[in-house]
Amino acid sequence: MKSNTNFKSTALVIALALSTGSLQAYAFGTAEDVDQTAYTTAFKALDTDNDGTLTKAEARKEKLFAGRGHFAAADKNHDGTLDQQEYTDYRTQAEQKNVKRVASDSVITSKIKGKLLKDEGLKSLKISVETHQGVVLLSGFVATENQIQQAEEIAAGTKGVKSVKNSLVLKKD
């Protein structure tokens, strides 16, 4: 039993180290190395009247600007249009925010999986953990009702978790 716990702890440390390193490389490398050519191409494709600016109607063809308030937030000089710089700045900011959210969700997922691995009363490898915007989804099969509650308590007690959707199911014998 002791060697099994040591194995789980070692596996957890390795998994967390690898996932943290790859997340940092992705999050920081992507935010700094934005491909301006892609933004230029996208801007020109949206600029259907070829006047060098985007109207609200033109910008709405892109998912990011279809939502309420995004166009106005991007229009820094309040002239009712977006020039290429305003468009690029807003897209960069939105993508950086998304990368941070994904990284944060991944950290939450890793923490919960680690806690589940450490818990002797759970067969944590049978529990799937997914996180989106701080909302955790637990799924899989467990042997007892107590394990369902125990997994939910572990997830809910993890820093950064806003809520837990527990879809764990009792395994039928």
User: Mind listing the pLDDT tens digit for each residue in 73-119?
Assistant: 999 999 999 999 999 999 999 989 888 988 999 999 999 999 998 98
Residues 151 and 75 in one domain: no
Residue 3 pLDDT greater than 50, yes or no: no
pLDDT of residue 122: 78
Q: Which of 2-16, 33-47, 110-124 has the highest mean pLDDT?
A: 110-124
Strands (E), 36-162: 53-54, 82-83, 127-132, 135-142
Please tell me the distance from the alpha carbon of residue 149 to that of residue 147, in angstroms, as a whole number: 5
25 within some domain:
yes
Residue 138 pLDDT greater than 60, yes or no: yes
112 within some domain:
no
Residue 16 pLDDT greater than 50, yes or no: no
Greater model confidence, 114 or 30? 114
Strand 82-83 versus strand 127-132 pairing type: unpaired
Domain end call among 60, 78, 106? 106
Domain end call among 63, 83, 106? 106
CATH number of the domain residue 142 falls in: 3.30.1340
Residues 102 and 160 in one domain: no
CATH number of the domain residue 88 falls in: 1.10.238.10
Residue 128 pLDDT greater than 50, yes or no: yes
Residue 94: C-alpha distances to residues 48, 67, 87, 124 (Å): 23, 13, 11, 35
Residues 16 and 81 in one domain: yes
Contacts of 90 (CB under 8 A, 6+ apart): 64, 70, 73, 74, 82
Residues 152 and 83 in one domain: no
Range of the domain at 9: 1-106
Phi (first) and psi of residue 162, to 5 degrees:
-90, -40
Residues 75 and 125 in one domain: no
Task: Find the mean pLDDT for residues 125-131.
Answer: 89
pLDDT of residue 22: 44
Please tell me the distance from the alpha carbon of residue 70 to that of residue 2, in angstroms, as a whole number: 55
Domain end call among 49, 74, 106? 106
pLDDT level of residue 31 (50, 70, 90 thresholds): very low
CB contact burial 149-171 (16+ within 10 A = b; e otherwise): ebbbebbeebeebeebebebeee
114 within some domain:
no
Whether pTM exceeds 0.75: no
The alpha carbon of residue 74 and the mean position of all alpha carbons in its chain are separated, in whole angstroms, by 23
